[in-house]
Amino acid sequence: KAGVTQTPRYLIKTRGQQVTLSCSPISGHRSVSWYQQTPGQGLQFLFEYFSETQRNKGNFPGRFSGRQFSNSRSEMNVSTLELGDSALYLCASSLGPSTGELFFGEGSRLTVL
């Protein structure tokens, strides 16, 4: 079956702009989590969605937001982009919330100029 799909894979934005990233989970998976990966910081948890509800949120400013649709697809949005937002944004899906193994997509690499 198809894996986790993230779009776009690469994008370049300028400071002050906003960006929306999309994630389609594995079929049947209802939980989607988002992580930010930067060099030396590992994977920083952004938020987790299950059944269209945000279950957990990491320690990120309100400029970072997300949502999940009824088909389990998820989007995350970053407004008023800053240079420090340049990172690889990874989406992961799982059968249920905070359970078991996460399956990751290949990520969306965002560069903010």
Partner 1 sequence: DQQVKQNSPSLSVQEGRISILNCDYTNSMFDYFLWYKKYPAEGPTFLISISSIKDKNEDGRFTVFLNKSAKHLSLHIVPSQPGDSAVYFCAASGGDNDMRFGAGTRLTVKP
**Which residues of the shown chain bind partner 1 in the complex (CB under 8 A)?**
4, 33, 35, 40-45, 48, 55-56, 58-59, 90, 92, 98-107
User: Which one, 18 or 38, has the nearer CB to partner 1?
Assistant: 38
Positive or negative: CA dihedral 17, 60, 56, 28: positive
Q: In angstroms, give the least distance from the CB of 56 to partner 1.
A: 4
User: Which one, 15 or 72, has the nearer CB to partner 1?
Assistant: 72
Spatial contact of 81 and 16, defined as CB atoms under 8 Å apart: yes
Q: In angstroms, give the least distance from the CB of 45 to partner 1.
A: 5
Specify the residue for token string 């906003």. Answer: 18
Positive or negative: CA dihedral 73, 45, 107, 27: negative
User: Which one, 17 or 76, has the nearer CB to partner 1?
Assistant: 76
